[in-house]
Every structure is written in C-alpha cells, then in structure tokens.
Structure 1
C-alpha cells in the first residue's frame, strides 16, 4: 500500500509545545447596531456582578413596541435568539454636525442570529436599496401608514423600529426577539472605547465629504476616521451599496475580533469602559431586560470570533430601476429557512465510524493533534485548531506545511490509532493513515485544498457567497 506523503517534519522537546498564536493582522450603515450588540454579548459573559449589570442597564434607552408588531407574527420555533440591528441616520443632537436630513431612516438593517446555546452567530445584512413589500405600520401617535412597495429602509421612517421589525419578519418569516438602534455619535463612542479598530486600505484615501483621510495599508482607525471609513461610498470599491456592505462587514469582523481579544477580557477597566460606552449608545425594546442580557451573556461565554460570520441577503437587479435590487428568492429562502429552523443538534453518534475502522475512539481530551495548513489559505490552520480546542482536543502545534496538498490527511504515529479514529469523527471524510515519521501517540491533521469541515460547526446555516468570518485577517482580501 502506498504511504501517504508526509507533511513538513515537526520536532518536539520532551513535552509538546503549546499552540502557536495566530499571525497578527488579521457604516456607517452596517456597523452601527451589530458592532455594539455583538461585541457586548461576546465580552460580557465574563462579568457577572449584579451591581455592574445594574449600572449598564440604567444607561440603555428603551422603547415599548408591544402592540405595533401585528398579530400575524412568525412562530418562534426554537431557543435561538434573533436581534434586529439598525443604524439610524438621525441628524438630531450630537449628530447635527453631519448635515440636515429630513426625517430618520435605517440605512443599516441587520438580523443577528445567535444559535441555541451560543454555538455560532451570523449577521445577515439587508441592502437598503432592496425593493420590498412593506406591511401596514402603526406610528407612535396611533396613526397607521398603509402597506406599500418601496425601498426597505423606508420602513423605519414609516413607523420607526417597530415597522422595520414587522417588515423583516414578513419578508423572512423569522421570529425576531429584540431590536437595537444606534446613531453616528454612539458608533464613535464604541469604537473609541475599544481603542480603535483595525482596517486595511488598498490605496491612500482623501475624501473631504466623509472627513476621511487614510494612508494605504493596515492601520487602526478611531472616532471620525472610523465613521468616515464605513460611511464613504464613492472613493472605495465600485460605489455600490453592496460593495460598501462588504467593506462594512469586514469592519464588523474586526470589531468582534477586538472585543473578544484576551487583552480586553482580562482588563476589567477596559471592559467596563467599553460596555458602558456601548450601553449609553444604544436604544432597544423594553423587553431586552437586565435578566435577558445576563442570560444571553452566559450562553455566549467562550464563543470565539471564528464562530461569527457576516453575509448579505442574496439579491438580483430590480428590472424597473438599475439602481435598485430585489431579493433573489431562490437563493435567499434557503438562508431564511435555515435560520428559522436552527436548533442545537447533538453530536452524531460515532458508532458507524468506529465500526468501520474496527477501533474504539478515545475521548477528544486524550487526542494530541498537530494542525498544518497545506491549502495556502491564510489563517486556516489556526481557525481549525481553535474549533478543535473548543471541542476538547489537545492542540499541541499549529503550523504551515511547506508543500500544499489537494486533499486533507489525517496521519498518526505509533500507538495513536484510537486517537486518529476520534479525529476522523470530528473531521469526517478523511481516512486516518499511519505515518512512520510521526511522534508516537500523536495525530497530524494536514489540511488540503478540500478543507477540514468539523462535524456540526455552523451546520444549520448554509454558506453564502461573499460571507466574512470575524477571525479573518483585515488585509486578507485587499
């Protein structure tokens, strides 16, 4: 039998080394709500003092939307949490310096879906230029705006957050639990409280209208520069709203990565300043209570940036106006259905794999594994290693193979057959093979071009073209 090609040799001291750290580096519109809520719920899990929560709770501005969501709402099918995130373009108060704009719209509309138990999270962006059917909406004063067809961001001006909430539910049939709204000034406060956010710019930018002046390359932006970066439309990309959403999602990914950084989590002062800035910058429904926030934070303890991704609702050109788009229902409906029906699935029984290999797998905690990137995809080995660690495996090495492979390989040293069998359960579709050069008792996961999808990771929601993961490098696609 032909022996599998070996990855680059690994040399160990008497004790296996700890995992290597990942290589450093990694809206206005879309960032607003999502950056705040996502960051809050990911960071807050380590803070449980009741007095701390009470202080934060008192800073949040709330609105009662009961009675304005209609009676024909979608049924809640599981224990997932869906939060509607909106970025307001209000020019009132602190926002007056950004010009005069009649009324108020939601140029950011994102549905943040958190799977049951905090297994994963996905932010779904709804392009503001989407032409949709909006249901009738009741305003605060009791008057009613009739049902109409138009751009999705008009729902906010028709009846505030409650109208946007009702519109998204009618379009997706997904039950929404809460909403969060943020404005320009709130966005800046949160970014500054984080100590800035890393971005990557392909060329020097000078945009006086957006008050944006950036050098080319990797850099950290704060305050006005961060706001200008996510607001600008015509000096970056192709000028379309869809292109801007993609850039803003990359910004949100950097926010999540920064908010879940160990340096932030282990510094109580920084954490409190950040959460306080977030709480004082948002408006939410009055059902997003203190107990709900505590429960949410607890369920999300340990969620890594690699489990957070951002996608845009699949759209196509709107025939009557080339500057508008409409949902591509054939591609959008599978996404909506997956979110609606998302439930925490139990780990599949390992018996069939064990029977096939005629080897009884050991528990993940007894598997010492070295993970190698042989696919040439930046950050792939570290992302996979993080997922394996979260599942209880002992990751002893993360590295890059000098040679690239088309297919992923599971190799093992003497005495590690049962450990390799457990790895084959976690990463299905790859038959373990012995490797004479392997260290006895160790398993080697060499990730080829066909990838290494862990069983059950983000299984509920299908992949969407152009999705962005929160653990990406800021310059990965620049």
Structure 2
C-alpha cells in the first residue's frame, strides 16, 4: 500500500511526458508543413533599421498554379507566381491599433537586384510593376522592394495561395459581403444577386479575384473591395472569438499550413503570439488604406506614388513608436453626433464615425459638404453644450458654437482639410480609408 503514491507519481509523470510529446509532435507537424524562406540570409544587412516596437507584416496573395492551385488556370502551371494582393499589416506598439496598408499590383517602383533561394541573382529594374518582384525572385524580393521605397523595416511576411485562402474563409464560417447589383464574372466564375451574402471557399476566392464583374474593372476598385472583405473577415475572427481561442487558432493553422510560405523567424508559436496579442483589438481600431498613389504619367493603366503625401505617410508608419494613449474620460458622457465631411477626403466622415462609435458616441448620420473647409468645427443644439465641448476637445476643434437651427440634444461635427484625427490616434486619416467595424452594406461617405 505504501508504494501506491510512488506508482501514482510515476503514472502522472508518464502522462505528462506523453502529453508533452504529443504537443511537440503536433507543433512539429504544423511547423514542418509551412514553407519557409530565410529572409535575413537572402536580404543581408543592408536594410532599414527597426525604430520601435511596431510590427510590420507583409501579406501576399500568390497566384501560383502549383499543386491543387492548377485548377485556377490550366496551362499556367509553369508560370512564375506573381502577387495580385499585397498588404502590409502594421501593428502599433501596445496593440492599441492596427492598419492594413494596400500596395497596388500596378504600382510602378524600382525593383532592386534580389537573391533567389537557390543562390542565383535576379537583375534589378529601374521601374516596373510591384507584383513583378515575386516573379523575379520570390516573396523575399517583394519584401526587399517594399523596404527600399518605404524605408520601413519589415518584420515578417506571409504568403498564401488560392487553396489556403479558401480554407481560411471556410474555417471562419464565411465572410459577409454586400453587392449593390447583380454580379457575373465569367473569368472568376463569380455569380451573385444584389444584396447581402456570406461567402466562403470558392465563392470567397472568386469575389476577391474578380475584376470584370464590378464597376470599371480597375485594380484600384478591386483593392477597395478586397479591403472591405478583409475588414469583414477580421471582424468575423474577432467577434467569433477565434483570436482568443487557442483551439480554433490551431484549427485555422492546421487547415492552412501547407498553403503558407513565411520567413524563417515566423514560427507557429510566433504566429499564435501575434494572433493572441490582437485578441483585445476591436474591429473599429483596425483600419484599411491604400498607399497614396495616382495615375502613372507614362501609362494610364499603371499607378505611381503621389509625393510628398506618400513619403509623409511612410514616415508616420516608421515613427509610430508611442503606445496610443487610452481615451481620457470626457467632461460629459458621449452624446449624439452628426458628422459632415468638408475635407475632400474620400470616406472621411465614415472613418471618424467608426472611431467615435468606439468611444461611446451615438452616430445620428454622416454626409458630405460640397464646399471645402480648412477648419474643423463643432456646433450644437439646445442642451448639448457639455457633449459638444467634450467632442471639440477630442478633435482639437477649438470652442464649440451654439446654433439655433440645430436639433435639441444633437452635436454636429464638420471635418476640415486640416483635420489630423482624434486625440490618441498616431497615424493621420488617409484617402479612401475604411475600418473593419464598417457595416457591409453601409454607404461610403
């Protein structure tokens, strides 16, 4: 009888060892399924310095036709893969906000000489479309190219193919979208009736790939649609508790591991750390934007960076070294506000509405004002002065002014061209910006 505790201890120890081995085996299986590139070795030491604790992760959609992806382009199996979706996920220090920054595939930039995984070298190009970098020397060359013209240090990259993207949307249970009219694109196979849909698998892939089924078929328009889709996808993951549930995260990784290519330092454990570090990030604090760009002077079908706006934007991302301050308690409880955009910035009113909604304000409406205003100002109706003063302080608009025609209890905010964002926001508003919290059928203003 005296030996029972000893035998029990041995049994428990054995179970712990077996559990550890099982966990290690599971981890090793996932780790070995992901394809990896040694970015540090391929890029060398001549890279932008890392200035702060922000994380910059380049996410690439690969059009490779290898393996199960061959069905999306018969006869293209030998074609070098390119990337039609290029997005940099910028995670601010402290996890207070995140941004998905899109780079157009047709963006004309210098592509530097790159080292391929087999040791051979690809020649540089004085100017070429950004998506050619991957075809020349793989995803690491895309990272090098982006680092070169942004001067931002890229911490990691993730490349996902068609099959992996389908798996992600399926594991999330589908992603809600809204189309304003019937859609049919014979190239992607997408067919949707006007209204709201929840897409996953084949339909989700066709939706983000489609160009000719929507509007003018431009890449710029497709980027905007992809940003709204990615925002809805992120919101689905956040609201569904995926980021906070290790089991569901592991399920997502298991389903997609074979379709992923990453840098050598982005281990499965690091992926889980990054995902769980975002679990407290609300959808309203995940912003999507496109780098400042416009028509390319030599070819109207291409785009180029717009200066000095692009360099100012890249500098703001590089210098995002301060943890965003928590919103201070206003002098009065948040009230009801109507937001009017007089800045000329596409989507400005809707963007601010998302931020204020996150801080407890009730949004009575958003709209545009045709005549631009340099100043940002606040007006209020009877009984709403405390709320108006609190809002004016939050947007650095000076003193709020009463207005006799204003509805009682309502505050109006007019955003001007000099508006630099709400206090506590480290990256200024950008043209055409959207948020993961946007309603999928919400009108863009």
**Taking structure 2 as the reference length, what is the TM-score of the superposition?**
0.77
How do residues 196-275 of structure 1 correspond to structure 2 at under 5 angstroms? 196-262=174-240, 264=242, 272-275=250-253
1:206 Cα deviation from its structure 2 partner: 2.1
Mapped to 1, the partners of 2:392 and 2:350 lie a distance apart of: 23
Cα contact 1:56–1:275 (8 A) shared by 2: no
Tell me, yes or no, if structure 1 residue 457 matches structure 2 residue 429: no
Does residue 277 (structure 1) correspond to residue 242 (structure 2)? The answer is no
Which fold has the larger relative contact order, with Cα–Cα distance below 8 Å and residues 6 or more apart in sequence?
1
Q: Which moved more, 1:251-260 or 1:63-72?
A: 63-72
1:181 aligns with 2:149: no
Distance 1:476 1:137, change over 3 A: same
CA contact (8 A) 2:421 2:429 kept: no
- 1:84 maps to 2:84: no
Please name the residue that 1:371 is paired with.
335
SS class of match (1:374): strand
Whole-angstrom distance in 2 between the partners of 1:412 and 1:281: 59
Q: Please, which of 78, 100, 107 is the counterpart of residue 123 of structure 1?
A: 100
CA shift in 2, pair 1:382/1:151, >3 Å: closer
Output the CA distance in 2 between the equivalents of 1:413 and 1:55: 63
1:106 and 2:76 aligned: no
C-alpha change, 1:66 and 1:118, in structure 2 (3 Å) is: same
Measured in 2, the distance between the counterparts of 1:260 and 1:331 equals 32
Q: CA RMSD in A?
A: 3.8
Q: Cα offset for 1:423? A: 6.9
Q: CA 1:157–1:271 in structure 2 vs 1: closer, same or farther (change >3 Å)?
A: closer
Of residues 193, 198, 201, the one that matches 2:171 is 193
Q: Residues 467 and 103 of structure 1: is their aligned pair in 2 closer, same or farther, counting only changes over 3 Å?
A: same
Supply the distance in 2 between the matched residues of 1:119 and 1:369 (Cα, whole angstroms).
22
Shift of the 381–158 alpha-carbon distance from structure 1 to 2, 3 Å rule, reads closer
| Distance of aligned partners of 1:292 and 1:272 in 2 relative to their CA distance in 1, 3 Å threshold | closer
1:317 & 1:304 partners in 2: Cα distance? Answer: 34
**Could you tell me which residue of structure 1 aligns to residue 438 of structure 2?**
472
Aligned to 2:123: 146
Structure-2 residue corresponding to 1:9:
none
Q: Give distance in 2, aligned partners of 1:196 and 1:331.
A: 36
**Contact 2:83–2:134 (Cα < 8 Å) also in 1:** yes
The CA deviation at 1:244 is: 1.1
Structure 1 residues 453 and 263: CA distance shift in structure 2, 3 A: farther
**Aligned residue among 287, 291, 294 for 1:309:** 287
Q: Say yes or no: does 1:400 pair with 2:372.
A: no
Quick check: 2:38–2:263 contact (8 Å CA) kept in 1? yes
Shift of 1:180: 0.5
Q: Secondary structure at the match of 2:397?
A: coil
Deviation, 1:248, is 1.0
Shift of 1:400: 3.2
The equivalent residue for 1:35 is none
Aligned residues: 396
Q: Which residue of 2 aligns with 1:357?
A: none
Q: State the shift of 1:314 in Å.
A: 2.1
Separation of aligned partners in 1, 2:317 and 2:273: 21
Q: What stretches of structure 1 of length at least 5 have no aligned partner?
A: 1-49, 351-362, 389-394, 435-443
Q: Secondary structure at the match of 2:228?
A: helix
Structure 2: distance between partners of 1:269 and 1:290: 14
Question: After superposition, where does 1:49-88 map in structure 2 within 5 Å?
Answer: 54=27, 58=31, 59-88=33-62
Per-residue CA distance 1:308-336 (angstroms, 9 max, x = gap): 11111222322333322222232211111
* Equivalent position of 2:405 in the other structure: none
Matches within 5 A, 1:7-22: none
Specify whether residues 464 and 156 from structure 1 end up closer, same or farther in structure 2 by C-alpha distance, changes over 3 A only: same
Alpha-carbon spacing, 1:221–1:367, altered in 2? closer, same or farther (3 Å): same
2-side partners of 1:312 and 1:228: how far apart? 22
Cα distance, 1:195 vs structure 2: 0.9
Q: Give, in angstroms, the shift of residue 153 of structure 1.
A: 1.1
1:288-325: CA deviation from partner (whole Å, max 9, x where unpaired): 13553354345434111111111112223223333222
Distance 1:398 1:420, change over 3 A: closer
Check the 8 A contact 2:325/2:424 in 1, yes or no: no
* Structure 1 residues 323 and 261, CA gap change in structure 2 (3 angstroms): same
Structure 2 unpaired stretches of 5+: 1-21, 341-348, 370-375, 403-408
Correspondence 1:291-310 to 2 at 5 A: 291-297=269-275, 299-310=277-288
Q: Deviation of residue 371 (structure 1)?
A: 3.0
- Compute the displacement of 1:272 (Å): 4.7
Report how far residue 96 of structure 1 moved.
0.8
Query: CA shift at 1:456, angstroms?
Result: 3.5
